[in-house]
Chain A
Amino acid sequence: MLGVTFISFLLMVYFGPDKTYELLGKNPTEEQIREVRHELGYDRPFLVRYGDYLRELVTFDLGLSDSNGEPVAAILARTLPVSLALVLPGFVIGNLLGLALGLLAAWYRGKWLDKLVMSASVVGMSISFIVIIIGLQILLCTPYGLNLFPVRGWQVDGPGSYLYYVTVPTLALVLVTLGYNTRFYRAVMAEEIERDHIRTLRAYGASPAEQLFKHVLKNSLVPVLTRIMFSIPFVVISGSLLLESYFGIPGIGLVTFNAITSGDQPILKAVVGLTGILFVVALMINDMLYSLVDPRIARP
C-alpha cells in the first residue's frame, strides 16, 4: 500500500503536470514563479509532501479539483456509484459466462466443442476494445443498425432507463473480457479434471454433473477467486475509463480521463490512491476467502 502510493506520488511529482505556468500565463518573472510554487507547496521537501498526500488519503480530505473547485471527495462520491453500476453487470456476466464456457471446454477437451470455444476466445481476444465499442454502437445505437439504444449518455432514474443505458456498455465489456476469462477458466478446470481424485469419483460412479459442479468447481475456487478479486480494481478503474469516455457516461473513468488531459492533480492523486486501496482491500478479502474455500489453508 505504501509502495503503491509512494511510487505513484513520485511519478506525479516529477513527471506529472505542473500548475505553475498555467496559473501565471506567459512570461512570468522569477519572483512570481517562486511565489506561486511556494503557494502550491511545490518547494517543500518531497517527503513532507508525500506525508501530506497520505494524510489526505486516510482522512478522505482530498482537496479541491483544479478545474472547477469542487471537492474531490464529492466528485468521487458522485461518480463512483455510476461506474460501479456501469461495470458490475458486464463483470458478473463476463465471469459467469467465462466459467460456464471454460467448464464446457475443459470437459470436452480435445473434442470439437473445445476447439470451437477456444478459437472463438482467441478471436474475441484479438479484437480491439475500441473496435468492439464502435461496432456495437453502430449495430445497436444508430439508424444504420437496430437503433435501439443511446450512443452516449446516462440519465438513469429507474430500472427501465438503467437497462436502456447500460446494455450496450455491458455487451462491450462482456465481449472484451469473455475470451480471456474463458481461456483462463478452461486451463484451471482442465487441470482439475485431470487430478486423481476426479478419477476416483469416476471409479465410484459419480455423474459428470457431480464431478464438475461439486468437485472440480470447489477445488478450482482458489485460482478463480484470485482472478476475480484481482480484476475488480482493473475493471472498475481502467474498464470504466474506456467505456465512459466512449459512451459519455459521467463515472469515475470519465473524471479520470478529463483529469489526465487537463492535468488536474488533486483528482489524479485521489484516483491513484483509491486504486491502490481497492487493490489492497481486494487482496485482503481474497486471502480471507481462501481459508473458507480450502480447508488446507488455516482459518484466521
Chain B
Amino acid sequence: MTVPALRVSGLSVWIGSGADSIQVVDGVSFDIDPGEATGLVGESGCGKTMTAMAILGLLPSTGVRVSCDHIEINGRDVSRLNTAQRRKVLGRDIAMIFQQPATALDPVFTMGQQISAVYRRHADGNQRRAHEAMLASLESVGFERPEEIAQAYPHELSGGMRQLSMIAMAMVCKPAVIIADEPTTALDSSTRALILHQLQQLQALHGTAMLFISHDLGVVRQSCRNVMVMYCGRLIEKTDCQNLFSHARHPYSAGLLSCIPQLGATRPGRISSIPGQVPALADLPSGCHFAARCNRSEPRCSESTPVLDAQDKKGVACFRPL
C-alpha cells in the first residue's frame, strides 16, 4: 500500500472564540495519493478555501481555531510543526496556487525574482543555479521564451500568463502536493483549458498530488480523477469523477449536478436549483445539515449525523443515499 502524498484527518476550523465561535470546517478527512488529482467542490462559503488554508497553516492565529488529528505529507505529520519548521515545508513539500494571480504576485518584483526566491529559500542558495531552475520551471509550464517572462513584472503579463507563472513558482521545488484554489476561475475558457492541460501534464511528469478546489464541476471533471463534495463545512460524498456524474449518491451531489445547464437541451426552460437555502453557519441544524432541503430526508436525518468513512476513497454521508 502506498503512502498517501497528502493525508488530512479530522480537520476542523472555528472562527471566533468561546460560545460565539462558528464552525466552518467540520471533521474533514481525506487521502490523496502521489500523482492523483482530487477535486474539492461545493458552493461558495462551504469551507473549501478554509480547508486549504488550514492545511497550509496560513490562517491567522487570532480569531480562528484549527484542530486536527494529523496532516501528513508523504507520511510526515506537519500539523504539529512550529513556525520555523513549517516555513521549511511550505513551498518545498506543499505549494499553493491562488485564485487571483493578479493580486497574489508581488507587483514590484519580476517573475524571475519571485520564482528564484522560492528556489533559493528551499533548495539551493546559489544564485545561478536558482536562476536556471527558475527558467526550467517557466519552460516546463509551456513558455517558449522563459527569459522574457522572467524579466517581466506581473502587470506586464496577461491573466493566463500570470497564472502559468504562478504554477511555475509552485512547481519550482517539485513539491509532493499542490493545492490549487480555483486556479481558473478568473480566466476565460480557452485559457482555462490551457492551464488545466499544463497542470495535468506537470502532475503526471512529477507525480505530484493535487487538491483542486473549485465550484465548477465541469472543470473538476476535466482535471481530476477523484472528487469530494463539501456542504456546510463537511465532506458529504467522496467518489471518482465518472461515478459522480453517472451515479451521484448523496442527494446534495445529485442536486448540484442537476444545476449544471445542459448545452443543447431540448427545452430551454428554467435552470433547476436545489430548493431552500444554505443554512447560516452560525445556526446549523443538528444531524445532516442538508436534511431540511432534502426530499429524501426522514426523522433520523436531523437526529443523528451520518458519517463518512474517514480515509476511504469512496463513501457517502447519508442514511438514504440514491
Contact = CB atoms under 8 A, between A and B. Distances in A.
Interface-centre pick from A195, A295, A296 (highest chain B CB count, 10 A):
A295
Contacts of B91: 203-205
A218 to B, nearest CB: 5
Contacts of B87: 205-207
B173 to A, nearest CB: 9
Contacts of B95: 203-204
B109 to A, nearest CB: 7
Q: Give the interface residue-count category, chain B.
A: 20 to 34
A202 interface: yes
B108 A219 contact: yes
Interface in A202-235: 202-207, 210, 215, 218-219
Contacts of A197: 103-107
B76 interface: no
B155 A295 contact: yes
Interface string B179-196: 000000000000000000
B293 interface: no
Given A203-B58, A205-B88, A205-B90, A296 B107 contact: yes
B162 to A, nearest CB: 12
A295 B96 CA distance: 26
B86 to A, nearest CB: 8
B98 interface: yes
| Chain A binding surface SS class | helix
B153 to A, nearest CB: 4
A295 B108 contact: yes
Contacts of A205: 86-92, 118, 121-122
Q: Give the interface residue-count category, chain A.
A: 20 to 34
A204 B90 contact: yes
A34 B267 CA distance: 98
Given A206-B121, A295-B153, A199 B90 contact: no
Interface string B272-316: 000000000000000000000000000000000000000000000
Given A203-B90, A205-B90, A293 B104 contact: no
B106 A203 contact: no
B92 A296 contact: no
B113 to A, nearest CB: 10
B107 A204 contact: no
B98 A196 contact: yes
Given A110-B62, A199-B58, A204-B169, A294 B98 contact: no
B168 interface: no
A167 B89 CA distance: 49
B90 to A, nearest CB: 4
Contacts of A29: none
B227 interface: no
Given A204-B91, A205-B91, A207-B87, A215 B104 contact: no
B145 to A, nearest CB: 19
Interface in B100-157: 100, 103-109, 117-118, 121-122, 153, 155
A110 B62 CA distance: 9
A199 B109 contact: no
Contacts of A196: 98, 100, 103-104
27 contacts: A195-B103, A196-B104, A197-B103, A197-B105, A199-B98, A200-B96, A200-B98, A200-B104, A200-B106, A202-B58, A202-B90, A203-B96, A203-B98, A205-B88, A205-B90, A205-B121, A205-B122, A210-B117, A210-B121, A218-B108, A218-B109, A219-B107, A219-B108, A294-B107, A295-B107, A296-B107, A296-B153
Given A206-B87, A294-B108, A295-B153, 18 more contacts: A196-B104, A197-B103, A197-B105, A199-B104, A200-B96, A200-B105, A202-B58, A205-B87, A205-B89, A205-B90, A207-B87, A210-B117, A215-B106, A218-B108, A293-B108, A295-B107, A295-B155, A296-B153
